[in-house]
Amino acid sequence: MKILAIDTATEACSAALYLDGEITLRFRVESRGHSELILPMMQELLAEAGIALVALDALAFGRGPGSFTGVRIAAGVVQGAAFGADLPVVPVSTLAALAQRRYREQGDKNLLPAYDARMHELYWGCYRIGDNGLAYSQIDDRLAHPETVDLPSGEGWVGIGSGWASYGVTLRARLGSSLAVLDGELLCSAWDIARLGAAGFEAGDALPAELALPVYLRDKVAVKQRPRL
C-alpha cells in the first residue's frame, strides 16, 4: 500500500509517505507559511522514493480540528492533488493522530488529546489504543470549555496537546487522580496521519476528493467517519 499523508492543522507542518508499512517523514514547526512548505515536502518524499503521485493508492490528511487556516490548507492541497491524480482521500482526526503519536513514542494507551481552540475553549478527545495498536475514540471529538469536558472512566489517563498547556490547571482539577501524566507540548505529525490513513483505507473508508472536507467543530462543519480513527 502506498499513501501520502499531510498535516497542517497546528504549528507543525508535516508530510509522510507510507510504503507497505515503512514511513518517511518531513516535519517542521513554523508559526506560518504552511501553504508554501507542504507542497515541497510532498514532492521531496515522492522524488526520493521514485514514485509518481498517480502511482499512490490514496492520499490522507489531518481533517481537524485545529487552526481554521491550517485545516483548510490541508483539505485544499489534498483535494487538488487527488483530483489531478484521480486518487481517493482518507480524512483522519488530528486528535486521533495526536493520541497515536503519544502511543508510538511513549506506549501510553489511555489518551486525552486536546488543542487550544482559543476563546476559553478547547478541542477535546478521549482515545484508547486497541489491540491492533491504533487509536480509537471513546467519544466524538468536540469543542468544550475546560470546566465542562467529558471525564473518562478509570485511571492512568495521559493528557496531551496545547489544550493542556493552556488549561492544564483546570483540567488537572477536573480529572484528579485519573490523570497520570500530561504533555502540553506534543504536536500532531503526518507520520501518524499516514498510519491511521492506511488503516482507514484498508477498512474501506476512502472518499472521493470532493467529499474530503475539513472538520472545524466550532461552526459545526463536520464529517462523521465510520471507524473513529
How does pLDDT run across 181-222, given as a tens digit for each residue?
999 999 999 999 999 999 999 999 999 999 989 999 986 433
CA 121, CA 209: separation in Å to the nearest integer?
31
CATH assignment, 95-183: 3.30.420.40
CA 35, CA 164: separation in Å to the nearest integer?
27
| 13-27, 134-148, 206-220: segment of lowest average pLDDT | 206-220
Q: What is the pLDDT of residue 224?
A: 40
Hey, where are the domains in the chain?
A: 2-94+188-211, 95-183
Domain 2-94+188-211: which topology?
Nucleotidyltransferase; domain 5 (3.30.420)
Q: Kindly indicate the confidence band of residue 41, based on its pLDDT and cuts at 50, 70 and 90.
A: very high
Query: 184 in helix, strand or coil?
Result: coil
CA 17, CA 60: separation in Å to the nearest integer?
10
Residue 1, amino acid: M
179 DSSP assignment: E
Residue 81 vs residues 78, 98, 162, 166, 168: alpha-carbon distances, Å: 5, 24, 30, 35, 39
Number of Cα atoms under 13 Å in the Cβ half of residue 207: 20
- Residue 165, number of CB atoms within 10 A of its CB: 17
Question: What are 69-98's pLDDT values in tens digits?
Answer: 999 999 999 999 999 999 999 999 999 999
Work out the percent of the chain whose per-residue pLDDT is above 70. 95
Same fold flag, 2-94+188-211 and 95-183: yes
> If you average pLDDT over every residue of the chain, what do you get?
94
